[in-house]
Amino acid sequence: MIVAGLLAMLASPVAAQQQSDGYKFLKAVRDRDGDIATQLLDEPGNTIVNARDITTGETALHAVVQRRDLTWVRFLLQRGANPNIADKNGTTPLQIAAQLGFIEGVEQLIKRGAEVDVSDSTGETPLISAVHRRDLKLVEMLIANGGNPDRTDNSGRSARDYAMLLGARAGVIEAIEKGEKSGNKTAETYGPQ
């Protein structure tokens, strides 16, 4: 038993030294350790900003969106984090932000190129999540930025269908229409009118 204990103690530092930079980076982000995260990102030629957890497939961006941490969201996006990487369930950071009603995070992710009309493994889009939340501002924002209210999930229902099921008093149908109008103002059209 004593020998096994000594071997475990000796192996611990070795195991710590063998951790990948990606693992260390994800741990630093989860622990909110900006010094270590920045140090790892500053190493020449690295691509760890998009490192993925081997069990969940989540990136650091997934983790900071889940905790609604706008400072870290901005930091990671500025350092090149890809907002379109999905975890093992097909969920992107934008979908998480929409599910949480994290509007500031949604805005930052869209500014940095997040696909607005992406669906997870159940076919649910960020817009459908916003409709389920009855988050009118988020519904308008997602539609104005390319969310399709008629794209269906795996059950065959669209955001518009779910809005109609909620009824007129919920105001979601009006938010969809308002988002469509504001989105059409900025859309470029080609060809004869």
Distance CA 59, CA 51 (A): 6
- Final residue before a domain boundary, out of 62, 89, 115: 115
Q: Compute the average pLDDT of residues 51-63.
A: 96
Say which residue, 61 or 14, is predicted with more confidence: 61
- Final residue before a domain boundary, out of 115, 138, 165: 115
SS (H, E, C) 126-154: HHHHHHHHCCHHHHHHHHHCCCCCCCECC
Do residue 99 and residue 45 come from a single domain? yes
Return the biggest CA–CA distance within the chain: 84
Predicted confidence band at 192 (pLDDT cuts at 50, 70, 90)? low
Q: What is the pLDDT at residue 184?
A: 55
CATH code, domain with 51:
1.25.40.20
Q: What is the pLDDT at residue 182?
A: 78
Do residue 81 and residue 138 come from a single domain? no
- What are 92-110's pLDDT values in tens digits? 999 999 999 999 999 999 9
Do residue 110 and residue 47 come from a single domain? yes
Say which residue, 45 or 183, is predicted with more confidence: 45
Range of the domain at 71: 22-115
Q: What is the pLDDT at residue 167?
A: 81
- Final residue before a domain boundary, out of 88, 115, 142: 115
Do residue 108 and residue 68 come from a single domain? yes
> Does the residue 91 lie in any domain?
yes
> Does the residue 90 lie in any domain?
yes
Do residue 94 and residue 168 come from a single domain? no
CA neighbor of 62 nearest in space, from 78, 85, 42: 85
Task: Say yes or no to pLDDT of 156 above 60.
Answer: yes
Do residue 59 and residue 98 come from a single domain? yes
Q: What percent of the chain has pLDDT over 70?
A: 84
Q: What is the pLDDT at residue 191?
A: 44
Do residue 27 and residue 88 come from a single domain? yes
Predicted confidence band at 45 (pLDDT cuts at 50, 70, 90)? confident
Total domains in the fold of the chain: 2
> Does the residue 147 lie in any domain?
yes
Predicted confidence band at 18 (pLDDT cuts at 50, 70, 90)? low
- Other Cβ atoms less than 10 A from the Cβ of 73: the count is 27
